[in-house]
Structure 1
Amino acid sequence: MIFESWLQQLFPFNLFCLFVFFLIENSALVVLSVLIGKMLEPENTFLKNKDRKWVLSTLLCNTFITLIGFELYRYGIMKVDFSASIKLIIFDTLLLILLMDLFMFIFHFLVHHLKWLYPIHKLHHTHVETNVYSLYVLHPIETLGFGFIWLFLITILKFNYLSIIIYLVLNLSYGIFGHLKKDIFPSFWYSNSFTKWISTTKFHNDHHKNESQNYGFYFTIWDKIFKTMI
């Protein structure tokens, strides 16, 4: 596989070179998300001076997580499936999204309800009115927490590489859309039997306005089950 071969070409590089490479990669994703934010909400996409260090620290933490993930793969601890089975890709993608949403829901709920964790998460909630930069205003401990959940899941379970890529694209997209000021989802989304279970911009915006509700990320199902949904 081309992607597998490309990853193996990175094997000879030392940790410093890999960190720089992944830093460039993650920086490009930050720039891309900001550009999308500016396209969708140009007047709302601005970076406050006090948030610059947090955006930078989140970038560095994400780079560190990427590096650890690569090292786990390089040393054979993390197994990745490189087959082209459509059924497997669909199954793995759905499973990965569902499990990550559940684990992140639990983590998100805990950082709100454990007294020793909430001061860490409180930083993110300094953004009551959100924009795309809110996605990166996180305490390093929280960023690493989400990152280690991700690494744990894709290490204990073997996922298809395309499923991993699809999930990462979806995760970034929902991070952007979830922190916009204006809801970009159509009105039917909230009443349709299928789409009403999928999170929206308004769903996460409501969480920033009422921190005791709406802890889910991609789906509303966990909040409905645990009765934490507005």
Structure 2
Amino acid sequence: MIDFLRYFVFASIAFITLYIWKHPFQHRKIQSKNAKSSQFRKEFLYSVSSVIVYTTITLIVLVFRKYGYFKFYDRIEDYGWDYFLLSIFLILVIQDFYFYWTHRLMHTRLFFKAFHKIHHESITPSPWTAYSFSPWEALIHGMIMPIVVSLFPVHTFALLIFMTFQIIRNVLGHSGYEMFPSWLLTNRILKYINTNTNHDMHHQYFRYNFGLYFTIWDEIFGTIHPDYEETYKKITERESQIIQEEVEIGSN
């Protein structure tokens, strides 16, 4: 129930803010077309099934934890705050690497229909697309938890922070609006952060942009969309162009 409410709350806030209210990013819509209400209903139902899969995996991990099968620890003082923060970062990096390769694998002919087709039925993504997976794909994504807690000691609170972050990032990444600043891709380090435009283009073109939090694996293995930077620039500069046009119209 907690897993479901956490996802439902963040997805609802994003949906209401971006699709019902007037918001600061209204000129930064990535695609001109809008998703239909039937898509939202389908995405919500598949999201519920995905949460059930994630919750089942969590339950199994917690049961086996009692028998010492996974590397949890209860006192932050045992490893210190530095390790606590580092562990969260490591989980994100490992998940990003895991996601890139499982994602590419699910795009092969052998696995696409059974695993990934449902998620890609949302060509114009929305906040509800974030967890709109087949049960098989949800199982693949959910396996990151037992993998991580098998590799190194993890505090339960660190895992909670990670799970909350990944939900928020997934929801915003499928929001249909770009929220990062226009100068992001000009920074030598920050340009490797995965933007909403990047993942939205993946839903449009399928064959590019497989990353989750970062674009570094796409860059290394040549799967970044060739028009990504140009598209991002157009979307993030669109607002300033519209404001300038409104000013010119007002002055005339």
Tell me if the contact between 2:58 and 2:145 (Cα under 8 Å) persists in the aligned partners.
no
Give 1:224 deviation, angstroms: 0.7
Q: Which residue of 2 aligns with 1:35?
A: 12
Measured in 2, the distance between the counterparts of 1:174 and 1:227 equals 24
Q: Which residue of 2 aligns with 1:68?
A: 60
Measured in 1, the distance between the counterparts of 2:174 and 2:60 equals 27
Measured in 2, the distance between the counterparts of 1:61 and 1:40 equals 28
Give 1:39 deviation, angstroms: 4.0
Give 1:116 deviation, angstroms: 2.3
Please point out which of 198, 205, 218 is paired with 1:223: 218
- The verdict on how the C-alpha distance between 1:160 and 1:27 changes in structure 2, with shifts beyond 3 A counting, is closer
Please point out which of 103, 112, 132 is paired with 1:118: 112
Measured in 1, the distance between the counterparts of 2:41 and 2:173 equals 22
Higher relative contact order (CA 8 A, sep 6+): 2
The alignment-based identity, stated in percent, is 25
1:166-203 Cα offsets, whole Å, 9 max, x none, are 21122111111110111111111221122111111111
Give 1:122 deviation, angstroms: 1.1
Measured in 2, the distance between the counterparts of 1:55 and 1:138 equals 7
Residue 187 of structure 1 aligns to a residue whose secondary structure is coil
Q: Which deviates further from its counterpart, 189-198 or 171-180?
A: 189-198
Please point out which of 121, 129, 142 is paired with 2:124: 129
TM-score normalised by structure 2 residue count: 0.76
Measured in 2, the distance between the counterparts of 1:56 and 1:88 equals 34
Measured in 1, the distance between the counterparts of 2:217 and 2:122 equals 24
Residue 48 of structure 1 aligns to a residue whose secondary structure is helix
Q: Which deviates further from its counterpart, 57-66 or 140-149?
A: 57-66
Measured in 2, the distance between the counterparts of 1:209 and 1:165 equals 32
- Runs of 5+ consecutive residues of structure 1 not aligned to the other structure: 1-23
Q: Which deviates further from its counterpart, 209-218 or 53-62?
A: 53-62
Measured in 2, the distance between the counterparts of 1:33 and 1:182 equals 16
Q: Which deviates further from its counterpart, 54-63 or 103-112?
A: 54-63
Residue 209 of structure 2 aligns to a residue whose secondary structure is coil
Tell me, yes or no, if structure 1 residue 170 matches structure 2 residue 165: yes
Measured in 1, the distance between the counterparts of 2:164 and 2:183 equals 24
Measured in 1, the distance between the counterparts of 2:165 and 2:41 equals 29
Aligned residues: 206
Residue 199 of structure 1 aligns to a residue whose secondary structure is coil
Residue 122 of structure 1 aligns to a residue whose secondary structure is helix
Please point out which of 105, 114, 119 is paired with 2:100: 105
Q: Which residue of 2 aligns with 1:83?
A: 76
Q: Which deviates further from its counterpart, 35-44 or 172-181?
A: 35-44
- Runs of 5+ consecutive residues of structure 2 not aligned to the other structure: 21-33, 226-252
- The verdict on how the C-alpha distance between 1:38 and 1:166 changes in structure 2, with shifts beyond 3 A counting, is same
Amino acid at match of 1:223: D
Residue 64 of structure 1 aligns to a residue whose secondary structure is helix
Q: Which residue of 2 aligns with 1:146?
A: 141
Residue 116 of structure 1 aligns to a residue whose secondary structure is coil
TM-score normalised by structure 1 residue count: 0.82
Amino acid at match of 1:30: Y
Please point out which of 185, 205, 208 is paired with 1:210: 205
Tell me if the contact between 2:15 and 2:126 (Cα under 8 Å) persists in the aligned partners.
no
Structure number with bigger Rg: 2
Q: Which deviates further from its counterpart, 208-217 or 39-48?
A: 39-48
Measured in 2, the distance between the counterparts of 1:52 and 1:163 equals 28
